[in-house]
Amino acid sequence: MKITTFPLLLFCCLLFATSAAAQESQQKNILFIAVDDLKPLLASYGNEQMHTPNFDRLAKMGVSFHNAHVQQAVCGPSRASIMTGMYPDHTKVWDLHTDFRESAPKLKSMPEYLITQGYETTGIGKIYHKGSSAPGHDGKSWSIPHIIPDNFDTKYGEPAFSYYQNEDTKAKMEALVKEAKTKGIKGNGKQRNYVFDQLKPSTESADVPDEAYQDGLYTIAAIEKLQQLKETGKPFFLAVGYQKPHLPFVAPQKYWDLYKREDIDLAAFQETAEGTPKIAYHSFGELKAYSDIDKSTNVGDRLPEAKQRELVHGYMACVSYIDAQIGKLLDALEAEKLMDNTVIVMWGDHGFHLGDHTLWCKHSNFEQATRIPLIFAGPGIAKDVVVAEQPVELVDVFPTLFELAGVKDPGYLDGKSLVPLLDNDDKTIIDRDYAISQYPRRKSIMGYSIRTDRYRYTEWHDNNYRSDKTYKEENIIGVELYDYQEDPNETRNYATDKTYREVATLLKKKLQAHLNQQLKNKH
């Protein structure tokens, strides 16, 4: 029997549409929660002094990785890596200024790829590093434009320089701006610098509601976006990026009141490690940019205990402030009846030194800088599971989310899917037993660090070495080895200890093999 062309064409179109609709219906939504400078200082990660009921609630909903590490402990490179699923040596982002769209233009971001798979994608707050992202906060990533809401309640007004709500601080800063203008200093940036040279508090506890600071507005906007995305009927990727606990440590007073400053635990080891090369350290210039911090302090010098307690108190208050925002997001997801079809991931973009090794902030290859909280929850994920020993990396998030959401992996990513680890079966594993981090010093030096379940081994390479070049022994200017079973605070470098010779040799081979493989995989 002869079949006419038109019915056949109609049949094919209907078949394609039905197939596409079926695929779309199987795809899961993704709620992507980024928290700036968040180390695993959470109750669910064993820190009993912390008040984090909503982070803990999320942990009970899914799987927490307790040995998760970033690719580079500073936000620009770290965020470029997670958003592309690629190591910094492939994104070519090692600083706070480089846009991966310019340094590695062939790469696609996770949400950009999802748009091609039928997703609506949008973001609120800090997802990429602002200073190193293309216009529109990397506009190619969003089918619905990214936003940074600034609709502050007129009762409190906009925070001074996006940070401060204390009335006295705002008044002094306003006076300094006027003073700058009378001196002929023009431009917002120069006036800002003039003010901050004289007044830039590292902490603030103002008696204001959550929405008086930026992160509170981000939550309101995220909930509104959640409702809008649901109405589209399409699978969605909603990225929400919180800025606290990044410096300055500003949060509503009620979150400071959760902690007694005199009871706060300070870093147990506040010295430089025995035998560790100087190149491993930095003089925490980020913190010393604040007007209430002694700028003469250097590596090996402790901040006064009172200032340490104030800073740690502020960090903890900021974590609890973000915890409250996480709770509101989870409540909204439940209220919209989206929980059963939404994969959630929460991650920190790097850790944070709070006085250990006499260090503050991040910018190192030590444990406190590279280690982060990483939690997955949602359909296809076991509940209330801790994966404590398996080392994982932030580049693993991209392929993991795609597998969980039912989206085809683009096939070129540096990361590995962690789905085999998201169940209750100890026998399901991934074929990698380490995580890689790196950090540059000056223009010519790069430190590469490999973290296993027990050890960290780090090599510092000079002569502009990167993993897209040939590995050469003569480039190595420093080596570190730490044993977290025997020495969890990294008090001693075991790299030259005879009893660790076999361990050091094995880890060196693993690191070298990894770096050589990256050369083969050069993009």
**Residues tagged active-site:** 75, 129
Residue 25 to residue 439: CA distance in whole angstroms: 42
The answer to whether 61 and 382 are in contact (CB under 8 A) is no
- 393 strand-pairing partners: 69
Residue ranges of E strands in 61-153: 62-69, 120-125
Q: What is the dihedral of CA 324, 330, 333, 338, to 10 degrees?
A: 170
The secondary element (H helix, E strand) that includes residue 42 is none
Residue 366 to residue 349: CA distance in whole angstroms: 15
* Closest of 356, 511, 360 to residue 438, by C-alpha: 511
> From the centroid of its chain, how far is CA 469?
28
Residue 281 to residue 278: CA distance in whole angstroms: 6
Query: CA of 469: how far to CAs of 140, 516, 519, in Å?
Result: 31, 8, 6
Structure tokens at 90: 């492939």
Q: Residue 509: how many CB atoms within 10 A of its CB?
A: 10
The answer to whether 490 and 357 are in contact (CB under 8 A) is yes
The secondary element (H helix, E strand) that includes residue 90 is helix 88-91
> From the centroid of its chain, how far is CA 185?
36
The secondary element (H helix, E strand) that includes residue 388 is none
Write the CB contacts of 38 (distance below 8 Å, at least 6 apart in sequence): 245, 319, 322, 348, 349, 351, 352, 372, 373
What are the DSSP calls for 314-371, one per residue? Answer: HHHHHHHHHHHHHHHHHHHHHHTT-GGGEEEEEEESS--EESGGG-EES-SSSHHHHE
The answer to whether 159 and 150 are in contact (CB under 8 A) is no
Residue 486 to residue 192: CA distance in whole angstroms: 47
Residue 493 to residue 281: CA distance in whole angstroms: 13
Residue 446 to residue 459: CA distance in whole angstroms: 8
Residue 107 to residue 94: CA distance in whole angstroms: 16
